[in-house]
Chain A
Amino acid sequence: MTSKIAPPEDFHAYPDARGRFGPYGGVYVAETLMAPLEALAETYLRLRDDPQFRAELDRDLAHYVGRPSPIYHAERLSAEVGGAQILLKREDLNHTGAHKINNTVGQALVARRMGKTRIIAETGAGQHGVASATVAARLGLKCVVYMGAVDIERQAINVYRMKLLGAEVVPVTSGSKTLKDALNEALRDWVTNVADTFYIIGTVAGPHPYPMMVRDFNAIVGREARAQMLAQYGRLPDAITACVGGGSNAIGLFHAFLNDRRVRIVGAEAAGEGLATGRHAASLAAGRPGVLHGNRTYVICDDNGQIGETHSISAGLDYPGVGPEHAFLKDTGRAEYVGVSDDEALAAFHRLARTEGILAALESSHAVAQAIKLAREYPKDAIVLCNLSGRGDKDVHTIAQREGITL
């Protein structure tokens, strides 16, 4: 594999004080947001080492989220594929049904420490919106969720869940009316209401300190999985994989393994209708370096630097950027990023449902499809660990519609 950047000794030393992962990351925002971002970075770095904060977070993760989530040996799926053993890290079993809650529980505690009374969030699939509305309800904070008008349509169940939880869902009709536009709108809200508002970004994108903070809150996934591997199997997996939208569940799994050089790391991006068709959301596999939403990373844009419209069957992967740490992992060659198409993800969804009795989220189905491909490359005694980032209840309408079934 070619690497554009020499891999560092210690991948855990990133980001630096300016939020840089090599040439990626940073703080590319309007002046008005510099002060709130500095305040957030300072508060977060202090809280990260505060034993009382850590204890509070651990308690919430155990008793509210339901951690640790198990690693599950998908024996029938593995046997059917006929290659390596596939293990699933069951983030779908978390409260609210995805890894997103790991991050919102953490950021909500930070928001409370900062005395903020209003939470805003952007959401694509609605999972992060639900996870934000959930923690806001629990802490008695007002919550406003920005969601692209296109996504509101394809994720109706999650929109209603957010409303049941007391959040206001604001449709975003600018640009492509999807996740990137929801992020723009949330940033505009934040710039206008910085005094009382905390912006919970739902993935490892955005300006520093978000990519670091969101990663830290999701890194529990990989820490648990690594310890569970050692305890239950006496060794580390041969390969690990996760789907990559903005990249939070992926970095959550990957981070603990970054310095274990023998563990192969593969991120599955949404190839939509195929990388060659241009209708995809594979920023790393098919994009180029650029600046979007406050950080330098790989983006999907045209020759004039205009951000392109993306396509994926899964709203949560439909994003033209990606977390800057993934850009760094790609360029150092530490991780590979490949495309998984809509059709491949759907096939994996059905296969997992029928062999294991698990309905995976469409996002996570991309990871399952990639795990199946990887398993075929290895012998039966090898282990491929796949992050099952969320459950598929929210997607049953999309899948039924796609298959011509009226519910």
Chain B
Amino acid sequence: MNRIDQRFAELKAAGRTGLIPFVTAGDPSPEGVVPLLHALVAAGADLIELGVPFSDPMADGPVIQHAGERALAKGVGLDAILAWVRAFRATDMATPVVLMGYLNPIEVHGYERFAREAAQAGVDGVLLVDCPLEEADTGAAIRAAGLCRIQLAAPTTSAARLERLCGAAEGFLYYVSFAGITGAARLSVAEIESRVGAIRARAQAPVAVGFGVRDAASAAAIAAFADAVVIGSALVQRLAGSADAAETCARAQAFLAPIRGALDARAAHAA
């Protein structure tokens, strides 16, 4: 069983909601990435999404755009990112890592080479923002190397597409909570709940909800019906501008602790 399935099975057995922080690889600092990944785990992360910076992130809002621009200005690329995952894996064999990004950096790196190197480094899944199900043969090498292709579902996704997405889902299905870009805040919990309900009725894979989750309250509200919550922009914003790796880790800990607490309190209450 791969690490993602393993982790969701453990969460289910324990009756807990997964916490998935997203950070942009190389921001706030390239040296701080590996300590940050460990700090996220220490603060209660169940799975980590590591953003691969791209010059033209068309689905991202200003916070993640700027984090990506800062990382690119420091020369961050796939080679460095895979080396960080390898270093993280040296002491953490359990926490799944999903790379999230856009196609062109991988296309230029070469799909087969990327898939081989990512699998060797200990990456568990890949979420390609600009590669919908229709173009799935792009990057077929990624699946062939044993990595999960994480699919997105959105409020605009039609019933027919949802059916296909649910059938194709691997690892988990990432439900985008509203039609918009990352970092916007337009959560309508009732709407999300009914959509996630429809997805869970169809999909074998667990459902994680992201976009717009920013604090303990919004995370707890989503946790009532989702298998996991993803927190991106709010965390990236919080980490931006920290002076050194130690401060970045401390900020991550301070930011995630109340969210982890709220998720666990809800689980304890439900049990």
A121 to chain B, nearest CB (A): 16
Count residues of chain A with CB under 8 A from any CB of chain B.
40
Q: Which of B131-139, B247-255, B263-271 contacts A (4 or more CB under 8 A)?
A: B131-139
Interface set, chain A 5-60, CB cutoff 8 A to B: 18, 26-36, 38
Asked if A301 and B104 make an inter-chain contact with CB atoms under 8 angstroms apart, the answer reads yes
Q: A30 to B56: give the CA distance in the assembly, Å.
A: 13
Q: How many A-B residue pairs have CB under 8 A?
A: 129
Contacts of A180 in B (CB 8 A): 56
Contacts of B155 in A (CB 8 A): 32
B140 at the interface (CB under 8 A from A): no
Q: Map CB proximity to B onto A158-182 as digits: 1 under 8 Å, 0 otherwise.
A: 0000000000000000110000110
User: Closest residue of chain A to B175, judged by CB?
Assistant: A31
Interface set, chain A 272-301, CB cutoff 8 A to B: 288-294, 296, 299, 301
A32 interface neighbour in B65, B108, B154, Cβ under 8 Å: B154
A304 interface neighbour in B61, B108, B153, B154, Cβ under 8 Å: B108
Contacts of A26 in B (CB 8 A): 134-135, 138
B181 interface neighbour in A29, A188, A195, A290, Cβ under 8 Å: A188
Asked if A306 and B132 make an inter-chain contact with CB atoms under 8 angstroms apart, the answer reads no
Asked if B104 and A290 make an inter-chain contact with CB atoms under 8 angstroms apart, the answer reads yes
Q: Map CB proximity to B onto A298-320 as digits: 1 under 8 Å, 0 otherwise.
A: 01010111110000000000000
A206 to chain B, nearest CB (A): 11
B113 at the interface (CB under 8 A from A): no
Contacts of A192 in B (CB 8 A): 179-181, 184
B72 at the interface (CB under 8 A from A): yes
User: Closest residue of chain A to B152, judged by CB?
Assistant: A31
Count residues of chain B with CB under 8 A from any CB of chain A.
44
A150 at the interface (CB under 8 A from B): no
B11 at the interface (CB under 8 A from A): no
Asked if B58 and A291 make an inter-chain contact with CB atoms under 8 angstroms apart, the answer reads no
Asked if A301 and B179 make an inter-chain contact with CB atoms under 8 angstroms apart, the answer reads no
Q: Which of A27, A293, A303, A306 has the most CB of B within 10 A?
A: A306
A181 to chain B, nearest CB (A): 8
Q: Which of B156-164, B188-196, B215-223 contacts A (4 or more CB under 8 A)?
A: B156-164
Contacts of A299 in B (CB 8 A): 104
B2 at the interface (CB under 8 A from A): no
B92 at the interface (CB under 8 A from A): no
Asked if A30 and B130 make an inter-chain contact with CB atoms under 8 angstroms apart, the answer reads yes
User: Closest residue of chain A to B66, judged by CB?
Assistant: A174
B54 to chain A, nearest CB (A): 7
A194 at the interface (CB under 8 A from B): yes
Contacts of B109 in A (CB 8 A): 304-305
Q: A192 to B186: give the CA distance in the assembly, Å.
A: 10
Q: A216 to B200: give the CA distance in the assembly, Å.
A: 42
Interface set, chain B 142-157, CB cutoff 8 A to A: 151-157
B55 interface neighbour in A18, A30, A291, A307, Cβ under 8 Å: A307
Asked if B108 and A301 make an inter-chain contact with CB atoms under 8 angstroms apart, the answer reads yes
Asked if A34 and B132 make an inter-chain contact with CB atoms under 8 angstroms apart, the answer reads yes
Interface set, chain B 74-107, CB cutoff 8 A to A: 77-78, 102-107
Contacts of A288 in B (CB 8 A): 108
Q: Which of B65, B103, B131, B179 has the most CB of A within 10 A?
A: B179
Q: A180 to B54: give the CA distance in the assembly, Å.
A: 13
10 further A-B pairs in the complex, CB-CB below 8 A; given A29-B130, A31-B153, A33-B156 = A18-B134, A28-B138, A35-B154, A191-B179, A191-B180, A290-B107, A301-B55, A303-B108, A304-B105, A305-B104
* Chain A residues engaging chain B, CB cutoff 8 angstroms: 18, 26-36, 38, 174-175, 180-181, 183-184, 187-188, 191-192, 194-195, 288-294, 296, 299, 301, 303-307
* Chain B residues engaging chain A, CB cutoff 8 angstroms: 54-62, 65, 69, 72, 77-78, 102-109, 129-132, 134-135, 138, 151-158, 161, 165, 176, 179-181, 184
What are 12 contact pairs spanning A and B, CB under 8 A? Answer: A28-B135, A30-B154, A31-B165, A36-B156, A174-B65, A175-B55, A175-B69, A194-B156, A288-B108, A290-B104, A299-B104, A306-B77
